[in-house]
């Protein structure tokens, strides 16, 4: 079947159609953001487990997302993008039930942790399905020439939701208790399922599809660079509350908010730079800014410097995903677009999955501030790999 006609480039119709789809990303990441600032403290302080276990609890969600990516791409390409999102919203609703149940079992810490981990795994699978489904739906709806815009607005929806959800989750737990998070997750997912019910999806494209691992091989160099750059984000979201507590500071959730606001501003103001200067150039410049932000977090003498570092990290990381994504998705045919998006997203998931346990071990042995130093080194490594990819691309044109 043929894809739907593509609206003219730059038209309001493109943005409106994209926003109507990434709304479901916003709901999904609002559900991810609500517990993100309070979960490490809940596991560490309320249930009595170590910082490493707290990191693993956060990382379990991202590991589940990573492992479910091939399935998410297959569902999106062969069954449909809307179906992928519906399955994901169902997973969020179930995750909310388990989160609520975990709070009720707080008197049995190990059982409570296991139930909570089950909810995190479901949330991770849902994230994978919705992330691939929404971007693939956008590209099918408005055309592949708007890939950067589709990825960018999807990111704005996700990080904006986390920026709202993180401080809101802190307030909810303080006023209503940890169980209120589970109720909120289930209610939001059910509301989204009600709204998506009558929304038409794009048709499934016919034709030969590449095996996932063949797609993965083409995407891997770009994904590896994305992974190295994204570990800083995983480090920030997982450990910022414990980092602040270690230094005797308050207001850790505002670091996540500043990160999200700067992330969104960068995408709104500079998304056209990807088309103007190319994906490689945009990614290289942004990785440099992100590294500076991580260094500021490492050396921060006060909360003001920490907020500035979080802002620069968010501003820098903002365009890395779409910039490298444009170059990566160009390596696969349109019939395997979902698989390509899934393979690319695997590396972002990997960054978030390993950030928890790896940086937890660093914090345990060197202190919390050094996790940002390590993240900065990895970001520089990603920058170097992107330079090599750019050089290879230029040599192929000659």
Q: 3-class secondary structure for the chain?
A: CCCCCCCCCCCHHHHHHHHHHHHHHHHHHHHHHHHHCCHHHHHHHHCCCCHHHHHHHHHHHHHHHHHHHHHHHHHHHHCCHHHHHHHHHHHHHHHHHHHHHHHHCCCCHHHHHHHHHHHHHHHHHHHHHHHHHHHHHHHHHHCHHHHHHHHHHHHHHHHHHHHHHHHHHHHHHHHHCCHHHHHHHHHHHHHHHHHHCCCCCCCCCCCCCCCHHHHHHHHHHHHHHHHHHHHHHHHHHHHHHHHHHHHCCCCHHHHHHHHHHHHHHHHHHHCHHHHHHCHHHHHHHHHHHHHHHHHHHHHCCCHHHHHHHHHHHHHHHCCHHHHHHHHHHCCCCHHHHHHHHHHHHHHHHHHHHHHHHHHHHHHHHHCCCHHHHHHHHHHHHHHHHHHHHHHHHHHHHC
Q: Is 47 helix (H, G, I), strand (E, B) or coil?
A: coil
Return the pLDDT at 156: 83
84-88, 204-208, 318-322: the lowest-pLDDT one: 204-208
pLDDT value at 5 more than 60: no
And the tokens for 345? 């997203």
Mean pLDDT of the chain: 84
C-alpha span between 157 and 321 (Å, rounded): 14
pLDDT of 203 reads: 61
Residue 300 has pLDDT above 60, yes or no: yes
Say what the pLDDT of residue 173 is.
Answer: 86
Angstrom distances, CA of residue 328 to CA of 104, 285, 379? 45, 18, 19
- pLDDT band at 286; cut points 50, 70, 90: very high
- Which is more confidently placed, 294 or 9? 294
User: Under 8 Å CB-to-CB from 79, ≥6 apart: which residues?
Assistant: 204
pLDDT 10s digits, 96-143 = 999 899 888 888 888 888 999 899 999 989 988 898 888 888 877 776
Asked whether 352 and 230 are in contact (CB, 8 A), the reply is yes
**Which pLDDT score, from 0 to 100, does residue 223 have?**
92
Q: Are 363 and 371 in contact (CB under 8 A)?
A: yes
pLDDT per residue over 342-355, tens digit each?
A: 788 888 878 877 88
CATH topology of domain 12-397: Growth Hormone; Chain: A; (1.20.1250)
pLDDT digits (tens, 9 = 90+) for 10-60: 567 777 888 888 899 999 999 988 888 788 878 877 777 777 777 778 778
Quote the percentage of the chain above a pLDDT of 90: 26
Supply the pLDDT for residue 187: 94
Q: How confident is the model at residue 202 (pLDDT cuts 50, 70, 90)?
A: low
pLDDT at 236 over 60: yes
Cβ–Cβ < 8 Å for 118, 98:
yes
Entry pTM: 0.73
pLDDT in tens, 64-75: 887 888 888 778
For residue 372, what pLDDT band results from cuts at 50, 70 and 90?
very high
Tell me which residue of 331, 31, 332 sits closest to 181, measured CA to CA.
31
Secondary structure class of 367 (helix, strand, coil): coil
> Domain boundaries in the chain?
12-397
208 pLDDT tier (thresholds 50, 70, 90): low
pLDDT at 7: 46
Q: Is the pLDDT score of 3 beyond 50?
A: no
């Amino acid at each position: 079947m043929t894809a739907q006609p593509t609206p003219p480039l730059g038209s309001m119709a493109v943005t409106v159609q994209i926003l109507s789809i990434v709304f479901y990303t916003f709901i999904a990441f609002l559900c991810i953001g609500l517990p993100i600032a309070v979960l490490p403290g809940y596991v560490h302080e309320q249930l009595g487990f170590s910082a490493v276990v707290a990191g693993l609890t956060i990382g379990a969600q991202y590991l589940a997302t990573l492992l479910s990516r091939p399935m998410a791409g297959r569902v999106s390409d062969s069954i449909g993008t809307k179906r992928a999102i519906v399955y994901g919203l169902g997973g969020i609703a179930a995750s909310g039930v388990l989160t609520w149940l975990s709070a009720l079992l707080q008197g049995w810490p190990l059982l409570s942790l296991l139930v909570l981990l089950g909810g995190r795994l479901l949330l991770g699978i849902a994230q994978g399905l919705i992330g691939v489904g929404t971007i693939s739906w956008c590209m099918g709806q408005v055309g592949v020439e708007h890939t950067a815009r589709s990825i960018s607005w999807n990111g704005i929806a996700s990080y904006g939701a986390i920026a709202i959800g993180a401080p809101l989750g802190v307030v909810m737990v303080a006023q209503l208790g940890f169980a209120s998070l589970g109720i909120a997750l289930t209610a939001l997912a059910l509301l989204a399922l009600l709204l998506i019910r009558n929304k038409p999806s794009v048709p499934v494209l016919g034709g030969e599809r590449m095996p996932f691992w063949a797609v993965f091989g083409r995407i891997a160099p770009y994904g590896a660079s994305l992974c190295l750059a994204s570990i800083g984000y995983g480090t920030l979201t997982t450990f910022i509350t414990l980092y602040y507590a270690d230094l005797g500071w308050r207001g850790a959730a505002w670091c996540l908010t500043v990160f999200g606001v700067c992330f969104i501003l960068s995408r709104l103001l500079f998304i056209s730079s990807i088309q103007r200067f190319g994906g490689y150039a945009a990614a290289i410049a942004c990785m440099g800014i992100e590294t500076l932000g991580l260094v500021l977090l490492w050396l921060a003498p006060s909360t003001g410097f920490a907020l500035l570092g979080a802002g620069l990290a968010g501003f820098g990381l903002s365009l890395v995903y779409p910039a490298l994504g444009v170059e990566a998705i160009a390596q696969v045919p349109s019939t395997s677009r979902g698989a390509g998006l899934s393979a690319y997203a695997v590396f972002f998931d990997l960054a978030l999955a390993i950030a928890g346990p790896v940086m937890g071990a660093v914090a345990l042995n060197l202190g919390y501030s050094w996790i940002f130093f390590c993240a900065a080194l990895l970001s520089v490594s990603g920058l170097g790999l992107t330079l090599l990819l750019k050089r290879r691309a230029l040599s192929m044109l000659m």
